[in-house]
Structure 1
Protein backbone atom coordinates (compact mmCIF):
# COMPACT_ATOMS: atom_id res chain seq x y z
CA UNK A 1 0.00 0.00 0.00
CA UNK A 2 2.92 2.35 0.68
CA UNK A 3 3.79 2.30 -3.05
CA UNK A 4 0.26 3.21 -4.24
CA UNK A 5 -0.67 6.85 -4.80
CA UNK A 6 -3.20 8.59 -2.56
CA UNK A 7 -5.67 8.85 -5.46
CA UNK A 8 -5.45 5.13 -6.18
CA UNK A 9 -5.90 4.28 -2.49
CA UNK A 10 -9.07 6.39 -2.32
CA UNK A 11 -10.40 4.85 -5.54
CA UNK A 12 -9.81 1.37 -4.15
CA UNK A 13 -11.51 2.21 -0.85
CA UNK A 14 -14.47 3.82 -2.62
CA UNK A 15 -14.87 0.72 -4.78
CA UNK A 16 -14.62 -1.49 -1.72
CA UNK A 17 -17.29 0.56 0.06
CA UNK A 18 -19.59 0.26 -2.96
CA UNK A 19 -18.99 -3.48 -3.07
CA UNK A 20 -19.92 -3.76 0.61
CA UNK A 21 -23.15 -1.80 0.14
CA UNK A 22 -26.13 -4.12 0.45
CA UNK A 23 -29.78 -3.69 1.44
CA UNK A 24 -28.59 -4.44 4.99
CA UNK A 25 -26.09 -1.55 5.19
CA UNK A 26 -27.32 1.74 6.61
CA UNK A 27 -26.33 5.36 5.97
CA UNK A 28 -24.02 6.97 8.52
CA UNK A 29 -26.38 8.14 11.31
CA UNK A 30 -26.21 11.94 11.41
CA UNK A 31 -28.81 13.74 13.57
CA UNK A 32 -31.10 16.21 11.84
CA UNK A 33 -31.45 18.37 14.96
CA UNK A 34 -28.64 17.82 17.46
CA UNK A 35 -29.30 19.29 20.90
CA UNK A 36 -26.84 21.26 23.03
CA UNK A 37 -25.43 19.37 26.00
CA UNK A 38 -22.88 20.39 28.65
CA UNK A 39 -20.47 17.82 30.06
CA UNK A 40 -18.88 18.73 33.40
CA UNK A 41 -16.10 17.16 35.46
CA UNK A 42 -14.38 15.70 32.41
CA UNK A 43 -10.72 16.06 33.39
CA UNK A 44 -9.18 12.58 33.38
CA UNK A 45 -12.41 10.79 32.37
CA UNK A 46 -11.80 7.90 29.96
CA UNK A 47 -13.85 7.67 26.75
CA UNK A 48 -13.78 6.07 23.30
CA UNK A 49 -14.92 7.18 19.86
CA UNK A 50 -16.13 5.40 16.75
CA UNK A 51 -15.30 7.10 13.44
CA UNK A 52 -17.21 6.34 10.23
CA UNK A 53 -15.59 7.75 7.08
CA UNK A 54 -17.72 8.91 4.14
CA UNK A 55 -17.58 11.20 1.12
CA UNK A 56 -19.13 14.67 1.54
CA UNK A 57 -21.15 16.40 -1.23
CA UNK A 58 -18.03 18.57 -1.78
CA UNK A 59 -16.08 15.37 -2.55
CA UNK A 60 -14.06 15.62 0.64
CA UNK A 61 -13.59 12.77 3.08
CA UNK A 62 -15.30 13.25 6.45
CA UNK A 63 -14.83 11.19 9.57
CA UNK A 64 -18.11 11.29 11.50
CA UNK A 65 -17.44 10.56 15.16
CA UNK A 66 -19.50 9.16 18.04
CA UNK A 67 -18.37 9.57 21.65
CA UNK A 68 -19.10 7.50 24.77
CA UNK A 69 -18.88 10.37 27.31
CA UNK A 70 -21.48 10.16 30.14
CA UNK A 71 -22.62 6.74 28.90
CA UNK A 72 -21.84 3.10 29.74
CA UNK A 73 -20.61 4.20 33.17
CA UNK A 74 -23.10 3.19 35.87
CA UNK A 75 -20.51 1.05 37.67
CA UNK A 76 -17.46 3.30 37.11
CA UNK A 77 -18.34 6.93 36.28
CA UNK A 78 -14.73 7.83 35.46
CA UNK A 79 -14.61 5.26 32.64
CA UNK A 80 -17.23 5.56 29.90
CA UNK A 81 -15.53 2.94 27.72
CA UNK A 82 -15.41 -0.34 29.67
CA UNK A 83 -13.11 -2.85 28.00
CA UNK A 84 -15.81 -5.53 27.98
CA UNK A 85 -18.01 -3.30 25.79
CA UNK A 86 -15.23 -1.75 23.71
CA UNK A 87 -13.89 -5.17 22.74
CA UNK A 88 -17.24 -6.06 21.14
CA UNK A 89 -16.91 -3.25 18.60
CA UNK A 90 -14.85 -4.32 15.57
CA UNK A 91 -13.98 -2.57 12.32
CA UNK A 92 -15.32 -5.43 10.12
CA UNK A 93 -18.64 -5.31 11.97
CA UNK A 94 -18.95 -1.53 11.56
CA UNK A 95 -18.09 -1.71 7.84
CA UNK A 96 -20.65 -4.47 7.34
CA UNK A 97 -23.40 -2.43 9.03
CA UNK A 98 -22.88 1.00 7.46
CA UNK A 99 -22.35 2.44 3.98
CA UNK A 100 -18.85 3.81 4.63
CA UNK A 101 -15.43 4.09 3.08
CA UNK A 102 -13.87 2.82 6.28
CA UNK A 103 -14.35 2.69 10.05
CA UNK A 104 -11.98 3.34 12.92
CA UNK A 105 -11.92 2.62 16.66
CA UNK A 106 -10.47 5.67 18.45
CA UNK A 107 -9.70 4.86 22.04
CA UNK A 108 -9.43 4.51 24.89
CA UNK A 109 -8.72 8.18 25.43
CA UNK A 110 -8.99 10.62 28.35
CA UNK A 111 -10.21 14.22 28.55
CA UNK A 112 -7.87 17.00 29.71
CA UNK A 113 -10.49 19.78 29.79
CA UNK A 114 -12.97 20.46 32.58
CA UNK A 115 -16.19 21.13 30.66
CA UNK A 116 -17.48 21.17 27.10
CA UNK A 117 -20.76 22.35 25.60
CA UNK A 118 -21.69 21.18 22.12
CA UNK A 119 -24.61 19.84 20.07
CA UNK A 120 -24.91 16.06 20.27
CA UNK A 121 -27.17 13.49 18.71
CA UNK A 122 -29.39 10.88 20.33
CA UNK A 123 -27.81 7.73 21.70
CA UNK A 124 -26.52 5.41 18.98
CA UNK A 125 -25.59 1.87 20.01
CA UNK A 126 -22.72 0.12 18.24
CA UNK A 127 -22.64 -3.58 19.08
CA UNK A 128 -23.61 -2.91 22.70
CA UNK A 129 -21.62 0.32 23.21
CA UNK A 130 -23.69 3.50 23.68
CA UNK A 131 -22.43 6.67 21.98
CA UNK A 132 -23.61 10.06 20.78
CA UNK A 133 -22.77 11.85 17.52
CA UNK A 134 -20.48 14.83 18.26
CA UNK A 135 -19.35 16.10 14.84
CA UNK A 136 -17.01 15.27 11.99
CA UNK A 137 -13.41 15.83 11.02
CA UNK A 138 -12.75 16.74 7.38
CA UNK A 139 -9.51 15.86 5.69
CA UNK A 140 -7.78 18.76 3.93
CA UNK A 141 -8.03 18.83 0.14
CA UNK A 142 -5.65 16.38 -1.46
CA UNK A 143 -5.19 14.27 1.67
CA UNK A 144 -5.98 10.60 1.20
CA UNK A 145 -7.99 8.36 3.45
CA UNK A 146 -4.76 6.40 3.72
CA UNK A 147 -3.70 9.20 6.09
CA UNK A 148 -7.07 9.66 7.75
CA UNK A 149 -5.89 8.71 11.19
CA UNK A 150 -4.13 12.05 11.52
CA UNK A 151 -0.48 12.10 10.57
CA UNK A 152 1.37 13.56 13.58
CA UNK A 153 1.66 17.35 13.62
CA UNK A 154 -0.51 17.64 10.46
CA UNK A 155 -3.80 19.37 11.32
CA UNK A 156 -7.22 18.79 9.72
CA UNK A 157 -10.36 20.78 10.54
CA UNK A 158 -12.82 19.41 13.10
CA UNK A 159 -16.28 20.68 12.16
CA UNK A 160 -18.34 21.21 15.25
CA UNK A 161 -19.91 24.01 17.29
CA UNK A 162 -18.45 23.68 20.74
CA UNK A 163 -16.92 25.52 23.68
CA UNK A 164 -14.31 23.88 25.91
CA UNK A 165 -13.26 25.26 29.29
CA UNK A 166 -10.01 24.64 31.13
CA UNK A 167 -10.35 25.90 34.70
CA UNK A 168 -8.02 28.35 36.44
CA UNK A 169 -5.58 26.61 38.77
CA UNK A 170 -5.47 23.49 36.58
CA UNK A 171 -2.64 22.55 34.20
CA UNK A 172 -2.91 22.95 30.45
CA UNK A 173 -0.73 20.71 28.28
CA UNK A 174 0.46 22.74 25.30
CA UNK A 175 2.43 22.27 22.10
CA UNK A 176 3.73 25.50 20.55
CA UNK A 177 4.24 25.31 16.79
CA UNK A 178 7.06 27.06 14.88
CA UNK A 179 4.83 30.12 14.30
CA UNK A 180 4.21 30.47 18.05
CA UNK A 181 0.61 29.22 17.98
CA UNK A 182 -0.30 27.31 21.15
CA UNK A 183 -2.08 23.98 20.62
CA UNK A 184 -3.89 22.97 23.81
CA UNK A 185 -4.37 19.27 24.54
CA UNK A 186 -8.03 18.35 24.74
CA UNK A 187 -7.46 14.60 25.19
CA UNK A 188 -4.68 12.08 25.74
CA UNK A 189 -4.62 8.69 24.06
CA UNK A 190 -3.92 5.18 25.36
CA UNK A 191 -3.79 3.64 21.87
CA UNK A 192 -0.08 4.00 21.14
CA UNK A 193 0.98 4.10 24.80
CA UNK A 194 -1.49 2.18 27.03
CA UNK A 195 0.43 3.22 30.15
CA UNK A 196 -0.22 6.94 29.53
CA UNK A 197 -2.57 8.44 32.12
CA UNK A 198 -3.65 11.92 33.14
CA UNK A 199 -1.21 11.73 36.07
CA UNK A 200 1.78 11.09 33.77
CA UNK A 201 1.08 13.96 31.33
CA UNK A 202 3.38 16.50 33.06
CA UNK A 203 6.38 14.37 32.00
CA UNK A 204 5.14 13.81 28.41
CA UNK A 205 7.92 15.94 26.90
CA UNK A 206 10.40 13.15 27.67
CA UNK A 207 8.71 10.77 25.23
CA UNK A 208 7.69 13.18 22.43
CA UNK A 209 9.88 13.81 19.40
CA UNK A 210 8.18 16.73 17.64
CA UNK A 211 9.52 18.28 14.43
CA UNK A 212 12.01 21.16 14.70
CA UNK A 213 10.40 24.31 16.04
CA UNK A 214 7.72 22.54 18.12
CA UNK A 215 7.85 22.66 21.94
CA UNK A 216 5.79 20.90 24.62
CA UNK A 217 5.11 22.67 27.91
CA UNK A 218 2.78 22.56 30.91
CA UNK A 219 1.15 25.77 32.14
CA UNK A 220 -0.97 26.15 35.27
CA UNK A 221 -3.72 28.54 34.22
CA UNK A 222 -4.25 31.78 36.15
CA UNK A 223 -7.71 32.21 34.62
CA UNK A 224 -10.27 30.09 32.81
CA UNK A 225 -9.24 29.24 29.25
CA UNK A 226 -12.13 28.79 26.83
CA UNK A 227 -11.76 27.38 23.32
CA UNK A 228 -14.90 27.98 21.22
CA UNK A 229 -15.39 27.42 17.51
CA UNK A 230 -16.36 30.86 16.16
CA UNK A 231 -16.16 29.67 12.53
CA UNK A 232 -17.96 26.37 13.06
CA UNK A 233 -14.75 24.39 13.15
CA UNK A 234 -11.39 24.30 14.84
CA UNK A 235 -7.96 23.14 13.77
CA UNK A 236 -6.98 19.97 15.58
CA UNK A 237 -3.72 18.04 15.60
CA UNK A 238 -2.24 14.91 17.13
CA UNK A 239 1.28 14.16 18.28
CA UNK A 240 2.95 10.81 17.60
CA UNK A 241 1.22 9.26 20.62
CA UNK A 242 -2.22 10.32 19.29
CA UNK A 243 -2.80 12.93 21.98
CA UNK A 244 -5.16 15.53 20.47
CA UNK A 245 -4.73 19.33 20.58
CA UNK A 246 -6.85 22.34 19.53
CA UNK A 247 -5.23 25.45 18.04
CA UNK A 248 -5.51 28.88 19.61
CA UNK A 249 -5.90 30.70 16.30
CA UNK A 250 -8.64 32.30 14.18
CA UNK A 251 -10.34 33.55 17.35
CA UNK A 252 -10.58 30.09 18.90
CA UNK A 253 -9.25 31.00 22.40
CA UNK A 254 -10.19 33.76 24.82
CA UNK A 255 -6.46 34.35 25.39
CA UNK A 256 -3.12 32.90 24.28
CA UNK A 257 -1.92 30.63 27.09
Structure 2
Protein backbone atom coordinates (compact mmCIF):
# COMPACT_ATOMS: atom_id res chain seq x y z
CA UNK A 1 0.00 0.00 0.00
CA UNK A 2 1.88 3.07 -1.24
CA UNK A 3 1.54 6.32 0.73
CA UNK A 4 0.24 9.49 -0.83
CA UNK A 5 2.56 12.42 -1.26
CA UNK A 6 2.54 14.57 1.88
CA UNK A 7 -0.14 17.25 1.99
CA UNK A 8 -0.10 20.26 4.29
CA UNK A 9 -3.61 21.37 5.25
CA UNK A 10 -3.62 24.45 7.44
CA UNK A 11 -5.23 23.61 10.78
CA UNK A 12 -5.46 26.19 13.58
CA UNK A 13 -3.24 28.40 11.44
CA UNK A 14 -0.40 25.87 11.06
CA UNK A 15 0.37 23.61 8.06
CA UNK A 16 0.37 19.97 9.21
CA UNK A 17 2.20 17.16 7.41
CA UNK A 18 -0.44 14.59 6.36
CA UNK A 19 0.04 11.26 4.58
CA UNK A 20 -2.69 8.84 3.47
CA UNK A 21 -2.43 5.10 2.93
CA UNK A 22 -5.12 3.27 1.00
CA UNK A 23 -8.75 4.30 0.48
CA UNK A 24 -10.07 7.72 1.41
CA UNK A 25 -12.95 8.30 3.85
CA UNK A 26 -15.70 8.05 1.23
CA UNK A 27 -14.55 4.53 0.36
CA UNK A 28 -13.69 2.88 3.70
CA UNK A 29 -13.29 3.57 7.44
CA UNK A 30 -10.15 5.44 8.46
CA UNK A 31 -7.50 4.54 11.03
CA UNK A 32 -6.14 7.80 12.47
CA UNK A 33 -2.60 7.55 13.88
CA UNK A 34 -1.41 9.95 16.60
CA UNK A 35 2.32 9.88 17.28
CA UNK A 36 4.32 10.00 20.50
CA UNK A 37 5.90 13.03 22.13
CA UNK A 38 8.96 12.91 19.86
CA UNK A 39 7.29 11.20 16.90
CA UNK A 40 6.07 12.18 13.47
CA UNK A 41 4.71 10.62 10.27
CA UNK A 42 7.96 8.89 9.30
CA UNK A 43 8.57 7.37 12.71
CA UNK A 44 5.49 5.16 12.35
CA UNK A 45 7.36 3.48 9.45
CA UNK A 46 5.15 0.96 7.61
CA UNK A 47 2.95 0.01 10.56
CA UNK A 48 -0.08 2.19 9.61
CA UNK A 49 -0.10 0.93 6.02
CA UNK A 50 0.13 -2.74 7.02
CA UNK A 51 -2.61 -2.50 9.64
CA UNK A 52 -4.93 -0.53 7.39
CA UNK A 53 -4.48 -2.93 4.48
CA UNK A 54 -5.12 -5.98 6.68
CA UNK A 55 -8.28 -4.40 8.11
CA UNK A 56 -9.62 -3.07 4.81
CA UNK A 57 -9.31 0.54 5.94
CA UNK A 58 -7.53 3.71 4.98
CA UNK A 59 -4.87 5.22 7.23
CA UNK A 60 -4.44 8.89 8.06
CA UNK A 61 -1.03 9.70 9.56
CA UNK A 62 -0.02 13.23 10.44
CA UNK A 63 2.65 15.17 12.30
CA UNK A 64 1.47 17.60 14.94
CA UNK A 65 2.69 21.20 14.94
CA UNK A 66 6.38 21.33 15.78
CA UNK A 67 7.10 17.78 14.56
CA UNK A 68 8.21 16.14 11.34
CA UNK A 69 7.72 18.52 8.43
CA UNK A 70 4.79 20.39 9.98
CA UNK A 71 4.94 24.06 10.81
CA UNK A 72 6.28 25.18 14.20
CA UNK A 73 4.29 25.30 17.41
CA UNK A 74 4.44 28.21 19.81
CA UNK A 75 6.94 27.51 22.59
CA UNK A 76 6.94 27.01 25.47
CA UNK A 77 3.96 24.71 25.14
CA UNK A 78 1.15 25.33 27.64
CA UNK A 79 0.37 22.72 30.28
CA UNK A 80 -2.89 21.96 28.44
CA UNK A 81 -1.25 21.42 25.07
CA UNK A 82 -2.55 17.84 24.83
CA UNK A 83 -6.04 19.12 25.65
CA UNK A 84 -5.74 21.62 22.80
CA UNK A 85 -4.76 18.82 20.39
CA UNK A 86 -7.63 16.54 21.41
CA UNK A 87 -10.37 19.13 21.76
CA UNK A 88 -9.53 21.50 18.90
CA UNK A 89 -6.82 20.45 16.44
CA UNK A 90 -7.79 16.82 15.84
CA UNK A 91 -11.52 17.47 15.38
CA UNK A 92 -10.73 20.32 12.97
CA UNK A 93 -8.34 18.15 10.97
CA UNK A 94 -10.83 15.27 10.68
CA UNK A 95 -13.56 17.63 9.55
CA UNK A 96 -11.30 19.30 6.99
CA UNK A 97 -10.31 15.91 5.54
CA UNK A 98 -13.86 14.55 5.48
CA UNK A 99 -13.17 11.63 7.83
CA UNK A 100 -16.29 9.56 8.53
CA UNK A 101 -16.16 6.20 10.33
CA UNK A 102 -12.84 6.10 12.14
CA UNK A 103 -10.75 4.49 14.86
CA UNK A 104 -8.07 6.56 16.58
CA UNK A 105 -4.74 4.90 17.42
CA UNK A 106 -2.46 6.90 19.69
CA UNK A 107 1.01 6.23 21.06
CA UNK A 108 2.18 7.88 24.32
CA UNK A 109 1.25 11.58 24.02
CA UNK A 110 -0.86 10.54 21.04
CA UNK A 111 -2.71 8.07 23.25
CA UNK A 112 -3.49 10.80 25.76
CA UNK A 113 -4.77 13.00 22.93
CA UNK A 114 -6.93 10.13 21.69
CA UNK A 115 -8.55 9.77 25.12
CA UNK A 116 -9.19 13.50 25.43
CA UNK A 117 -10.71 13.53 21.95
CA UNK A 118 -12.95 10.52 22.58
CA UNK A 119 -14.17 11.85 25.92
CA UNK A 120 -14.30 15.52 25.05
CA UNK A 121 -14.92 16.29 21.37
CA UNK A 122 -15.55 13.11 19.36
CA UNK A 123 -16.76 13.60 15.83
CA UNK A 124 -19.60 11.50 14.42
CA UNK A 125 -18.29 8.15 13.22
CA UNK A 126 -15.82 7.41 16.02
CA UNK A 127 -15.94 3.64 16.42
CA UNK A 128 -13.10 2.90 18.83
CA UNK A 129 -9.81 3.99 20.39
CA UNK A 130 -6.50 2.14 20.73
CA UNK A 131 -3.81 3.49 23.03
CA UNK A 132 -0.17 2.45 23.37
CA UNK A 133 1.57 3.69 26.53
CA UNK A 134 -0.92 6.50 27.11
CA UNK A 135 -0.76 8.69 30.22
CA UNK A 136 -3.73 10.06 32.13
CA UNK A 137 -1.66 11.58 34.95
CA UNK A 138 2.00 12.36 35.63
CA UNK A 139 4.16 9.95 37.65
CA UNK A 140 7.62 10.13 39.24
CA UNK A 141 8.77 7.44 36.78
CA UNK A 142 7.66 9.59 33.84
CA UNK A 143 9.47 12.63 35.20
CA UNK A 144 12.67 10.70 35.85
CA UNK A 145 12.74 9.16 32.36
CA UNK A 146 12.03 12.48 30.67
CA UNK A 147 14.83 14.05 32.70
CA UNK A 148 17.09 11.21 31.51
CA UNK A 149 16.03 11.92 27.92
CA UNK A 150 17.15 15.55 28.37
CA UNK A 151 20.58 14.42 29.50
CA UNK A 152 20.80 11.96 26.60
CA UNK A 153 19.82 14.68 24.11
CA UNK A 154 22.61 16.91 25.39
CA UNK A 155 25.34 14.27 25.75
CA UNK A 156 24.73 11.43 23.26
CA UNK A 157 23.79 10.96 19.59
CA UNK A 158 20.06 11.16 20.38
CA UNK A 159 19.83 14.61 18.81
CA UNK A 160 21.39 13.46 15.52
CA UNK A 161 19.09 10.41 15.41
CA UNK A 162 15.97 12.54 15.88
CA UNK A 163 17.22 15.12 13.38
CA UNK A 164 16.59 12.61 10.58
CA UNK A 165 12.86 12.91 11.23
CA UNK A 166 12.20 16.53 12.22
CA UNK A 167 12.71 19.71 10.24
CA UNK A 168 13.61 21.54 13.47
CA UNK A 169 14.77 18.89 15.92
CA UNK A 170 15.47 21.32 18.77
CA UNK A 171 11.97 22.76 18.47
CA UNK A 172 10.49 19.26 18.58
CA UNK A 173 12.56 18.04 21.52
CA UNK A 174 12.47 21.06 23.81
CA UNK A 175 8.80 21.69 23.12
CA UNK A 176 8.02 18.22 24.50
CA UNK A 177 10.69 17.96 27.18
CA UNK A 178 10.19 21.42 28.60
CA UNK A 179 6.49 21.15 29.34
CA UNK A 180 6.70 17.65 30.82
CA UNK A 181 9.46 18.78 33.21
CA UNK A 182 7.74 22.01 34.20
CA UNK A 183 6.48 22.41 37.76
CA UNK A 184 2.90 22.90 36.58
CA UNK A 185 2.85 19.54 34.80
CA UNK A 186 2.95 17.60 38.08
CA UNK A 187 -0.80 18.28 38.42
CA UNK A 188 -1.66 17.43 34.80
CA UNK A 189 -4.52 14.92 34.70
CA UNK A 190 -7.09 13.85 32.08
CA UNK A 191 -9.07 11.25 34.04
CA UNK A 192 -12.15 13.48 33.87
CA UNK A 193 -12.56 12.54 30.18
CA UNK A 194 -12.63 8.78 30.72
CA UNK A 195 -16.25 8.33 31.89
CA UNK A 196 -17.49 10.14 28.78
CA UNK A 197 -15.77 7.68 26.43
CA UNK A 198 -18.51 5.38 25.16
CA UNK A 199 -16.73 3.63 22.31
CA UNK A 200 -14.63 0.47 22.84
CA UNK A 201 -11.05 0.88 24.03
CA UNK A 202 -7.95 -1.26 23.62
CA UNK A 203 -5.39 -0.13 26.20
CA UNK A 204 -1.88 -1.44 25.56
CA UNK A 205 1.36 -0.98 27.46
CA UNK A 206 4.70 -2.72 27.73
CA UNK A 207 5.42 -4.32 31.09
CA UNK A 208 8.84 -2.64 31.01
CA UNK A 209 7.60 0.82 29.96
CA UNK A 210 10.13 3.31 31.27
CA UNK A 211 7.70 6.23 31.03
CA UNK A 212 4.68 4.88 32.92
CA UNK A 213 3.57 2.21 35.35
CA UNK A 214 0.62 -0.19 34.91
CA UNK A 215 -1.36 2.25 37.08
CA UNK A 216 -1.99 4.16 33.84
CA UNK A 217 -3.68 1.13 32.25
CA UNK A 218 -5.72 0.41 35.36
CA UNK A 219 -6.91 4.01 35.59
CA UNK A 220 -7.99 4.09 31.93
CA UNK A 221 -9.83 0.78 32.04
CA UNK A 222 -11.54 1.39 35.37
CA UNK A 223 -12.53 4.94 34.45
CA UNK A 224 -13.79 4.33 30.92
CA UNK A 225 -17.49 4.75 30.25
CA UNK A 226 -17.55 1.95 27.70
CA UNK A 227 -15.93 -1.46 27.22
CA UNK A 228 -12.18 -1.46 27.75
CA UNK A 229 -9.68 -4.24 27.05
CA UNK A 230 -6.23 -4.10 28.58
CA UNK A 231 -3.10 -5.74 27.23
CA UNK A 232 0.22 -5.67 29.09
CA UNK A 233 3.00 -6.91 26.84
CA UNK A 234 5.96 -8.79 28.38
CA UNK A 235 9.54 -7.93 27.41
CA UNK A 236 8.30 -4.65 25.93
CA UNK A 237 9.08 -1.07 26.91
CA UNK A 238 7.50 2.17 25.66
CA UNK A 239 6.89 1.39 21.98
CA UNK A 240 4.83 -1.79 21.49
CA UNK A 241 4.44 -1.47 17.71
CA UNK A 242 8.24 -1.63 17.36
CA UNK A 243 9.28 -3.71 20.38
CA UNK A 244 6.48 -6.30 20.25
CA UNK A 245 5.30 -5.87 16.65
CA UNK A 246 3.56 -9.20 16.10
CA UNK A 247 1.56 -9.16 19.33
CA UNK A 248 0.69 -5.49 18.84
CA UNK A 249 -0.38 -5.96 15.23
CA UNK A 250 -2.49 -9.02 16.05
CA UNK A 251 -4.28 -7.31 18.94
CA UNK A 252 -4.92 -4.11 17.01
CA UNK A 253 -6.16 -5.92 13.94
CA UNK A 254 -8.62 -8.03 15.93
CA UNK A 255 -9.88 -4.94 17.76
CA UNK A 256 -10.33 -2.91 14.58
CA UNK A 257 -12.26 -5.67 12.80
CA UNK A 258 -14.50 -6.24 15.81
CA UNK A 259 -15.11 -2.55 16.44
CA UNK A 260 -16.08 -1.90 12.83
CA UNK A 261 -18.43 -4.87 12.90
CA UNK A 262 -20.05 -3.41 16.01
CA UNK A 263 -19.73 -6.66 17.91
CA UNK A 264 -18.04 -5.42 21.09
CA UNK A 265 -20.07 -6.19 24.17
CA UNK A 266 -19.66 -6.73 27.88
CA UNK A 267 -18.55 -4.57 30.78
CA UNK A 268 -15.27 -2.67 30.89
CA UNK A 269 -12.24 -4.57 32.15
CA UNK A 270 -11.38 -3.69 35.73
TM tier relative to shorter chain? under 0.3
Is the strand fraction higher in 1 or 2? Answer: 1
Q: Which is higher, the Rg of structure 1 or of structure 2?
A: 1
Is the helix fraction higher in 1 or 2? Answer: 2
When the two structures are superposed, what TM-score results if normalisation uses the length of structure 2? Answer: 0.27
When the two structures are superposed, what TM-score results if normalisation uses the length of structure 1? Answer: 0.28
